[in-house]
Structure 1
Amino acid sequence: MTSLEIDHFAIAAETLAEGVEYVQDTLGVTLSDVGHHAKMGTHNRLLSLGPSVYLEVIAIDPEAKPPMFPRWFDLDHFRGAPRLTNWICRTTNLPAALELGPDGSGEPMEFVRGNFHWHMGVPANGVLPFGGAFPALISWHGDAHPCARLEDQGCRLEALTLGHPEAPNLAASLAAYHITPEVQIETSGRPKLRVEVQTPSGTKVLA
């Protein structure tokens, strides 16, 4: 069975400032400096959730050249308040992991930013299966990983819950993998994600 580990979470926002304000007000901590993804025309700020998991606030970079294809996480169509839209799992065998996934899991796309080098499965239309309740799949190359550079502010992932109208089908798709840590799945009227984060001021929720 192909193993996946939760790598990070994506909080989408119409502007990076709005997303950062939402996370910092909710968790009571400060995010990293701005990073840029030239290939996707997006930028982000990060927060450590432990030695191997982090949180990403991501938005379209208004100063970047737009890509000739849909942006990841369906950011081209994102509207409304900042919210948790996606989770990303890492694997050591991206082609095999994508092969096991449902239609629309994406094709491997290469990214390089500084000494970070990774491949990620990006759907042709930018929309991940089950409205984002199915994870984006990523494979890091070399030893460089964002967590190693992020300040530890005492935040830790406690739980991830996925909601979807077709919860049994989502569960069946995820059952093809061994995922750590474990994920809870429930039936909901629309796709949704909920993350519980332990912070220095208690457990907080991002959704």
Structure 2
Amino acid sequence: MAVTLDHLVVAAGSLEEGAEYVGDFLGVALSPGGKHPQMGTHNRLLRLGARRYLEVLALDPEAPPPQHPRWFGLEEPWVQARLRERPCLLHWVARTEDIHASVAASPVALGEVREAYRGHLHWQISLPADGKLREGGLVPSLIQWGAAHPTDSLPPSGCELLELVGFYPHPEAVRAVLVGLGAEPELGLEPGPEPRLEARIRTPSGIRVLR
């Protein structure tokens, strides 16, 4: 069962810092998001086309820490070290119409399927028990939305995601996982000394490469 790129995750040390960084870099204002009480995080959003968006995600200082690891490796030391330098494009999330079947078909363990919510939005998402990213964030988390999708209420931003590229010391290892997930067309892969993502985004002032 093929999966489709749903959204990009830009992590930040604080939500204000992340929203300012992305807004200045792309030359647009982000839309309000909300809080994720089950994970102790909050976000801001930016539409990147039809059923595609970017979220700036950060720990919510007003929320009590959850009794389990937060999603997307936010508490990993290497992630926190990167965020002390600046916000970064950390991860991507792929949409599926049958998350249980997609998780079962994955060549690597993606964790359990958990329920999540924010306001009127409800979804199921794959989360490793240890909270760690797979292959440095290049293997996507999987998501299945309920009746509503965030882009249903996001205003046009004038931005469009053109391409997502991942760099990895052994890109063929990541490619094999993407093929098993049916996600290979969604992420270009190139050799690189360490795992990282780049997104080419068309903005009102030209093409920008977000890292």
| Same-fold status (TM-score > 0.5) | yes
Is the aligned partner of 1:91 residue 2:96?
A: yes
| 2:166 counterpart residue number | 162
Alignment of 1:1-207 (within 5 A): 2-77=1-76, 78-79=79-80, 80=84, 81-142=86-147, 144-179=148-183, 182-207=186-211
Contact 2:4 2:186 in 1 (8 A): no
Flag structure 2 segments of 5+ consecutive residues without an equivalent: none
Are 1:165 and 1:191, in contact at CA under 8 Å, matched by a contact in 2? yes
Structure 2 counterpart of 1:25, which letter? Answer: D
Q: How far apart are residue 96 of structure 1 and its match?
A: 1.4
Q: Is the 8 A contact 2:107 2:180 kept in 1?
A: no
Query: CA RMSD of the aligned region, Å?
Result: 1.3
Contact (CA 8 Å) 1:48, 1:150: kept in 2 or not? yes
Shift of 1:105: 1.1
Give, in angstroms, the shift of residue 180 of structure 1.
7.9
Equivalent pair of 1:6/1:180 in contact (CA under 8 Å): no
Task: Give the drift of 1:14.
Answer: 1.0
Corresponding residue SS for 1:193: strand
Task: Looking at secondary structure, tell me which structure has more helix per residue.
Answer: 2
TM-score, scaled relative to structure 2: 0.93
Count residues in correspondence: 205
- Which amino acid in structure 1 is aligned with residue 22 of structure 2? V
Deviations 1:15-36 (A, max 9, x none): 1111111101110000011410
Asked whether the 8 Å contact 2:69–2:129 carries over to 1, the reply is yes
Deviates more, 1:155-164 or 1:93-102: 93-102
The AA in structure 2 aligned to 1:17 is E
Q: How far, CA to CA, are the matches of 2:52 and 2:136 in structure 1? A: 22
- 2:28 maps to amino acid: V
Give aligned-pair identity as a percent: 44
**Equivalent residue of 1:95, what SS?**
helix
2:146 maps to amino acid? H
The answer for unaligned runs of 5 or more in structure 1 is none
TM-score by length of 1: 0.95
In structure 2, how many angstroms separate the alpha carbons of the residues matched to 1:76 and 1:172?
27
CA separation of 1:181/1:128 partners in 2, compared to 1, >3 Å: closer, same or farther?
A: same
Distance 2:159 2:123 in 1: 25
- Residue identity opposite 2:123 in structure 1: W
Q: Deviation of residue 141 (structure 1)?
A: 1.4
